Amino acid sequence: MSDFVSASELNDLLNADAPVRVIDVRWRLDRPEAGHDDYLTGHIPGAVFAALDTELATHGDPSEGRHPLPSTATLQAAARRWGVRAGDTVVAYDDFTGISAARAWWLLRQGGVDVRVLDGGIRGWQAEGFEVATDDVVPEPGDVVLDEIGGDALSIDETAAFPQSGVLIDARAADRYRGESEPYDPVAGHIPGARNLPESVHFDAAGRILDRETILASFAEIGVTPGTPVAAYCGSGVTAAHTALVLHEVGIDARVFPGSWSQWSNTPGRPVATGDQPG
């Protein structure tokens, strides 16, 4: 079963009153509050806004990264606020390829929830001509009980050692990987041994995921094939979850370093590589 659902498939599920809870995970790093504003401008009817910074992450010291994992209790409370009940399917979306929605997918899947991502996001929904709503949905609280999360997360020390036994993917843009620019963190470059594959290569101009063969070919270029131990990181652990989602869609399980470059670059003594080579 696909990790993605099309706009027409979701519309059919909603019209059939299937046990589906839709969450809107629109988010911007530069303006975290903008996601809720966009939600109120227009969202899928019945969708509940999910706050990435406070419900899908927590806050900590810079040495923990920008988006440390929430506790299981925090995520469970959020899921219940979204109205998720035992046995529900959750469909998460954002405004394009599913980068922030994938953070919800990664966490909820660890918690034992049946979760999907809307292919093409809200833009894909509107492109099909489906209606949007502007209310701030407050559903009846759910009763879902989550399994413990965090088992798919790599620590900073595990990440440092990972290239010795598998492929560590840096999912950021190529210029950040090479160390030519760094708009958010104190040091530019990448984790030694990591290979660069920006998440954008997996999607078309409409933000929809490409076919399986094309995706597998992209991963094969950096040494990832079915059976390869693989992990991903990015700037702060959001885009890396998106890479894990794409890998899972083509049958490859991946772990995520949630601290990502924001934790690595804020931890004294960690080595840094630059240029096109893994280092």
Task: Cite the active site residues.
Answer: 234
C-beta separation of 56 from 104 below 8 A: yes
- By C-alpha distance, which of 206, 215, 207 is closest to 246? 215
Cα separation, 117 vs 96, whole angstroms: 11
Instruction: Put the strands of the sheet holding 230-233 in their side by side order.
Output: 195-196, 167-170, 230-233, 255-256
Element (H, E) at 91: strand 89-93
Backbone φ and ψ of 22, nearest 5°? -100, 130
Amino acid sitting at position 123: R
SS3 180: coil
- By C-alpha distance, which of 35, 145, 170, 171 is closest to 95? 35
Cα separation, 89 vs 156, whole angstroms: 32
C-beta separation of 103 from 244 below 8 A: no
C-beta separation of 238 from 103 below 8 A: yes
